Amino acid sequence: MREAYVIDAVRTPVGKRGGALAGVHPADLGAAALRGLLGRNAIDPVQVDDVIVGCVDNIGPQAGNIGRTAWLTAGYPEEVPGVTVDRQCGSSQQAINFGAQAIMSGTAEVIVAGGVQNMSAIPISAAMLAGKEYGFESPFVGAEGWDHRYGTGEVSQFNGAQLIAEKWDISREDMEHWALRSHDRARAAIAEGRFDREIVPVGDFWIDQGPRETSLAKMAALQPLSEGSRLTAAVASQISDGASATLLASEWAVQEYGLTPRARIHHVSARGADPIYMLTAPIAATRWALEKTGLTIDDIDVIEINEAFASVVLAWLKETGADPDKVNVNGGAIALGHPLGATGAKLFATLLHELERRGGRYGLLTICEGGGTANVTIIERIGA
């Protein structure tokens, strides 16, 4: 099997809900990441075989194949195709994995993979609610096979996060300590310029808006998301806007176009778990990936796991035995935000740059996804 090399990975700064990116059309937002990526790499855009973009809630300005639209909006060649992927929160990680698989299989030489999401413009779950006017209360309930297998109860990330906290005996205080760590780490990363190489600005906006100074006392004063819940807004990912992009290439393309690879794709896979718990699949997916590669969790130098909720990360830590000091070292989605379709490639960019900063060898990315699935991507730094 051929190698798939990582040439570069970038992201826009993340805007908070109603913030700096709220008024930016999703196609323009995606285009900003694409231009930022290709603008700093010496390859003719016409040499790109495909553009694979993750996005969730594909309605309105995010409909009509936003991957293709963003590429054209960026001013790039019409002969280069584009496609949009929806694997919920892991959509742009899946875009990277699909791109890597295309290169490994020999059906592509150069792939641009990324993601975009404007949650200020198109609220979370907008696509799931769009069917109501046609008589469908949800995408799940009402399907005979689903109702027979899983019942007609709530199917949501909020319910899943609460179930996880209960099953793994994760207290509200445990989650608030992790949330505080996320904010502290994110603010330190920004102050030290650790994101500077991975961020491409949108106009004059270039600093993430999400991280804030908070405290355990402030978190303790918040009301739970529902009566009896251990969850509050403080331990959940932030609603956000942003875009991301990654350049992948084969060995032939590296030599033909004079590209400099920074890492190689060591492993890609996805696994599933209970869709009612919804957010536990990173546990099974990580175990699967480590088994397939022969690596142990201690072999991994840098880990990014999406902080959909603090309970997701804390349960994963309990099950994998990973060193917390290797996990989300620059903060996570609780502080930095979670622009759904863009998050996978966003975290991939952070993973790549942090792996280089630390001089590590292996980096692992995993994200919990709606429907109870999770992706894992493992990269190996060139020269490690």
Contact between 94 and 215 (Cβ < 8 Å): no
Supply angle C-alpha 63, 69, 74, rounded to 5: 145
The rounded distance, in Å, linking the Cα atoms of 250 and 70 is: 24
pLDDT level of residue 8 (50, 70, 90 thresholds): very high
The rounded distance, in Å, linking the Cα atoms of 236 and 224 is: 11
Supply angle C-alpha 300, 285, 88, rounded to 5: 110
According to the model, what pLDDT value does residue 78 have? Answer: 98
The rounded distance, in Å, linking the Cα atoms of 48 and 70 is: 14
According to the model, what pLDDT value does residue 137 have? Answer: 86
The rounded distance, in Å, linking the Cα atoms of 218 and 227 is: 19
Closest CA to 284 of 166, 362, 368: 368
Q: At residue 374, what are phi and psi to the nearest 5 degrees? A: -155, 140
What's the pLDDT tens digit per position in 149-164? 999 999 999 999 999 9
pLDDT level of residue 339 (50, 70, 90 thresholds): very high
- Specify burial of residue 325 (Cβ count, 10 A radius: 0-12, 13-18, 19+): exposed
pLDDT level of residue 134 (50, 70, 90 thresholds): very high
pLDDT at 1 over 90: no
- Specify burial of residue 139 (Cβ count, 10 A radius: 0-12, 13-18, 19+): middle
What is the separation, in whole angstroms, between the first and last Cα of the chain? Answer: 21
Contact between 88 and 56 (Cβ < 8 Å): yes
DSSP state of 373: E
Which range has the worst mean pLDDT, 133-137, 173-177, 234-238, 368-372? 133-137
Say whether 338 is catalytic.
Answer: yes
Cα dihedral 124, 64, 53, 128 in deg (nearest 10) = 30
Closest CA to 369 of 287, 241, 274: 274
Say whether 368 is catalytic.
Answer: yes
According to the model, what pLDDT value does residue 141 have? Answer: 83
The stretch 119-144 carries a mean pLDDT of: 92
The rounded distance, in Å, linking the Cα atoms of 307 and 368 is: 9
Contact between 125 and 115 (Cβ < 8 Å): no
Q: State how far the alpha carbon of 129 is from the alpha carbons of 61, 124, 136, 139, 140, in Å.
A: 16, 10, 8, 8, 11
Active-site residue among 55, 183, 353, 368? 368
- Greatest Cα-to-Cα distance within the chain, rounded to the nearest angstrom: 61
From its phi and psi, is residue 176 left (phi > 0), alpha (psi between -120 and 50) or beta?
A: alpha
pLDDT at 275 over 90: yes
Contact between 87 and 220 (Cβ < 8 Å): no
Percentage with pLDDT > 70 across the chain: 100
pLDDT level of residue 384 (50, 70, 90 thresholds): confident
Active-site residue among 89, 183, 266, 353? 89
The rounded distance, in Å, linking the Cα atoms of 169 and 157 is: 18
Q: State how far the alpha carbon of 145 is from the alpha carbons of 95, 142, 150, 158, 279, in Å.
A: 29, 9, 8, 23, 22
Contact between 28 and 73 (Cβ < 8 Å): yes
Active-site residue among 183, 266, 267, 338? 338
Q: At residue 366, what are phi and psi to the nearest 5 degrees? A: -145, 145
This prediction has a pTM of 0.98
